[in-house]
Amino acid sequence: MLLVALLEGEPPSGAIWYKDFRQSPYHRRLQSHGTRFYTKASDLCLGERAGCSVPCRRRLAPRIPSSHDVIQMFKQRLTALAAFCLLLLSALVPPAARAAEPPDLVTARPALRYITLSGFTRARAETPLVAETAGRVEAVFLDIGDQVGEEGRFAQLDDTFVRLDLEENAVERERLTAQIKYDRRELGRYRELALQNNTSASQLDLLERSLQDNRHALRRLEVRGRILEERLARTSIRAPAGWLITGRRIEPGQWVKEGETLGSAADFSTLLVPFALTPEQYAALHAEDTDGLSLELTDQGRPVAARLYRVNPGFDPETRKIAVELALADEVRPARGGLRTSLRLQLPELSGAVSLPAAALHHSYDEYWLTRENGERLAVLLLGPDRTDRDRVRVSAPALRAGDRFRLGRGL
- 262 with 371, same domain: the answer is no
**pLDDT tens string 272-282:** 999 999 998 99
Q: Between 52 and 102, name the one with better pLDDT.
A: 102
- 254 with 398, same domain: the answer is no
Inter-residue contact 130 to 261 (CB < 8 Å): yes
- The candidate with the shortest Cα–Cα distance to 54, out of 94, 90, 3, 100, is 3
- 329 with 259, same domain: the answer is yes
- The candidate with the shortest Cα–Cα distance to 187, out of 154, 222, 213, is 213
Q: Between 101 and 68, name the one with better pLDDT.
A: 68
CATH of the domain at 302: 2.40.50.100
* 2 belongs to a structural domain: no
Least confident of 127-136, 227-236, 251-260, 389-398: 389-398
Measured between alpha carbons, how far is 96 from 93 in angstroms, rounded to an integer? 8
Measured between alpha carbons, how far is 140 from 154 in angstroms, rounded to an integer? 6
Q: Buried b / exposed e across 43-55, counting CB within 10 Å, b at 16+?
A: ebbbbeeeeeebb
- 259 with 151, same domain: the answer is yes
- 221 with 133, same domain: the answer is no
Half-sphere exposure (CA, 13 Å, Cβ side) for 34?
1
Sequence-distant (6+) residues with CB within 8 A of 252 are 137, 138, 139, 140
- 329 with 380, same domain: the answer is no
Cα 320 to chain centroid distance, Å, stands at 21
Q: What is the mean pLDDT of residues 158-175?
A: 94
**pLDDT tens string 284-321:** 898 877 667 889 999 888 999 999 999 999 888 888 99
Q: Pick from 217, 234, 251: which residue ends a domain?
A: 234
What is each CA distance from 333 to 72, 146, 304, 356, in whole angstroms? 86, 16, 12, 44
**What pLDDT is recorded for position 186?**
85
- 165 with 226, same domain: the answer is yes
* 10 belongs to a structural domain: no
Range of the domain at 283: 112-158+238-348
Measured between alpha carbons, how far is 202 from 207 in angstroms, rounded to an integer? 9
Q: Pick from 327, 348, 369: which residue ends a domain?
A: 348
* 245 belongs to a structural domain: yes
pLDDT over 90, % of the chain: 39
Q: Pick from 196, 217, 234: which residue ends a domain?
A: 234
Measured between alpha carbons, how far is 211 from 186 in angstroms, rounded to an integer? 10
Q: Between 78 and 211, name the one with better pLDDT.
A: 211
Number of domains in the chain: 3
Q: Where are the beta strands (DSSP E) in 60-121?
A: 105-107, 109-110, 112-120
- 216 with 319, same domain: the answer is no
Residue 77 CB neighbours (<10 A): 10
- The candidate with the shortest Cα–Cα distance to 321, out of 371, 283, 358, is 283
- 193 with 306, same domain: the answer is no
Q: Where are the beta strands (DSSP E) in 30-162?
A: 54-56, 105-107, 109-110, 112-120, 122-130, 135-140, 153-157
**What pLDDT is recorded for position 21?**
44
Inter-residue contact 395 to 348 (CB < 8 Å): no
Sequence-distant (6+) residues with CB within 8 A of 301 are none
Q: How many degrees, rounded to 5, is the angle at CA 305 between CA 301 and CA 306?
A: 115
**What pLDDT is recorded for position 135?**
93
- Per-residue pLDDT band for 9 (boundaries 50, 70, 90) equals very low
Rg of the Cα atoms in the chain: 51
- 182 with 198, same domain: the answer is yes
Average pLDDT, the chain: 79
**What pLDDT is recorded for position 30?**
41
* 387 belongs to a structural domain: yes
* 168 belongs to a structural domain: yes
**What pLDDT is recorded for position 86?**
65
Measured between alpha carbons, how far is 292 from 254 in angstroms, rounded to an integer? 50
State the DSSP H helix or E strand holding residue 163, giving kind and residue range, or none if neither.
helix 160-195
* 205 belongs to a structural domain: yes
Measured between alpha carbons, how far is 255 from 271 in angstroms, rounded to an integer? 35
- 251 with 189, same domain: the answer is no
* 60 belongs to a structural domain: no
- The candidate with the shortest Cα–Cα distance to 53, out of 8, 18, 91, 1, is 18
Least confident of 79-88, 119-128, 221-230: 79-88
**What pLDDT is recorded for position 88?**
58
- 120 with 257, same domain: the answer is yes
Phi, psi for 314 (deg, rounded to 5): -75, 170
Q: How many degrees, rounded to 5, is the angle at CA 402 between CA 399 and CA 403?
A: 110
Report yes or no on whether pTM surpasses 0.75: no
Between strands 255-256 and 293-297, the pairing is unpaired
* 66 belongs to a structural domain: no
- Per-residue pLDDT band for 412 (boundaries 50, 70, 90) equals low
Asked if residue 58 has pLDDT above 60, the reply is no
Q: What DSSP character marks residue 213?
A: H
Q: What is the mean pLDDT of residues 36-40?
A: 37
Inter-residue contact 245 to 142 (CB < 8 Å): yes
